[in-house]
Structure 1
Amino acid sequence: MRFVDDLYSLYRNQLDEDEENAVSIVLSILEEQSREDIMQLIEEMDDEEVLQMMGVYLVEMLKLKMAQEGKLAEWESALSRPRYH
Structure 2
Amino acid sequence: MKLVDEIFEMYKGKIRGTQEDFDIIAFTILEQLDYNELIDMVKELPEEELAYFIRLYIVESLKGRMEKYADDTSFYH
Distance 1:48 1:28 in 2: 26
Which residue is equivalent to 1:18? 18
Aligned residues: 71
SS at match of 1:13: coil
Report the Cα distance in structure 2 between the residues aligned to 1:67 and 1:4, rounded to whole angstroms: 28
Q: What is the TM-score of this pair, normalised by structure 2?
A: 0.83
Any gaps of 5 or more consecutive residues in structure 2?
72-77
State the one-letter code of the partner of 2:44. Answer: E
* Cα distance in 2, alignment partners of residues 10 and 29 from structure 1: 13
Q: Is there any run of 5+ residues in structure 1 with no aligned partner, and where?
A: 72-85
Runs ≥4 in structure 1, deviation > 4 angstroms? none
Larger Rg: 2
User: Match of 1:61, SS?
Assistant: helix
- Which structure: greater helix fraction? 2
Residue 11 of structure 1 aligns with an amino acid whose one-letter code is Y
The superposition leaves residues 13-48 of structure 1 with CA deviations (integer Å, 9 ceiling, x where unpaired) of: 333242211110111110111011111111111000
TM-score of the two chains, using structure 1 as the length reference = 0.76
